[in-house]
Amino acid sequence: MSETLIKVVNLKKYFPIRGIFFTKAHVKAVDGVTFDIRRGETLGLVGESGCGKTTTGRLILRLLKPTAGHVYFEGKDVFKLKGEELKKFRKNAQIILQDPYTSLNPRMTVFEIINEALEVHKMKIPDKEEFIVNWLRKVGLEKHHLYRYPHEFSGGQRQRIAIVRALVINPKFVILDEPTSALDVSVQAQILNMLKDFQREMSLTYLFISHDLGIVKYMSTRIAVMYLGKIVELAPADELFEKPQHPYSQMLLASIPIPDPEYALKKPKVRVYGEPPSPINPPPGCRFHPRCEHAMEICSREEPPFIEVERDHYVACWLYAKR
């Protein structure tokens, strides 16, 4: 088994909803998440909008302060790092955001955007212009792009610049937060293949956050399924698509459009009831039980344990815990 690079233990993030004089309630965006990311793999994190995927990623990078829990990077607790150790972690853990236009400073040229990362981390490069141009050529840009501003580029070109900014300091771990959702389909394929090439060349580890299941399957080694702040299933990518165990995972996979109408009609239907509950007041027990056709009495009382049902395949569901 590969070495663990990131270990997340019982991670929680509650956002307060403030009244006039006091906090009225909390949005439980992430509520007791535990998983690990192995060195060199891509862990996909999927789920509906609002389930806590992006918040989990920002917590791992210490961009948000957790309510509770721990994140370990190479065995060190990220939330206890200070000084040079924290700066070293910042260099080794990067993020590529969903919207490349808002993530790039509109007042800075491409050279200034990328050089800022080199300056912050005090990387000694004899000829920075040549160094940055070589990186731009790796993503399909040229020297004449060096002194242009972000608004002068297309969405795909801006995302390429964001990729260079993240990778130019040679990190070990990168969070990809829906990096292609704002791009055309043809450009998506180019960016995804580029990210896979960089992963092989630089021995990178990825956390790939998305709601697009097809892209997640293409990119991921393993996939974690998230629902209302909880991880309900974690399995190798191919196995999750072939044999999803949790009713929510089955619902997600059943929602993938099928281009063949005849096959789509023959495909077994997965019945799902109601709407996702509010993260302010989630249901007790299993959070999916109000919408699950297999729900039992215990599902509304007790939270199911996260158990291994097959090798490296984990599910949080009383259907398997009761066996």
Residue 22 in any domain: the answer is yes
Assess if residue 319 is contained within a domain.
no
Which pLDDT score, from 0 to 100, does residue 260 have? 64
How many domains does the structure of the chain reveal? 1
**What strands lie across the sheet with 42-46, from one edge to the other?**
93-96, 173-177, 205-209, 42-46, 222-227, 230-236, 313-316, 306-310
What pLDDT, on a 0 to 100 scale, did the predictor assign at position 270?
67
Domain-embedded: residue 162:
yes
37 within domain boundaries: yes
Has residue 304 been placed in a domain? no
Q: What is the pLDDT of residue 265?
A: 60
Given a cut of 50, the residues of the chain with pLDDT beneath it are: none
- Within a domain: residue 82? yes
Residue 282 forms part of a structural domain: no
- What CATH number is attached to the domain comprising 222? 3.40.50.300
Q: Is residue 281 part of a domain?
A: no
- Return the pLDDT at 91: 95
- 241-267 confidence digits (pLDDT tens): 999 999 999 988 887 776 666 665 666
Give the domain extent around 139. 4-248
| Model pLDDT, residue 251 | 87
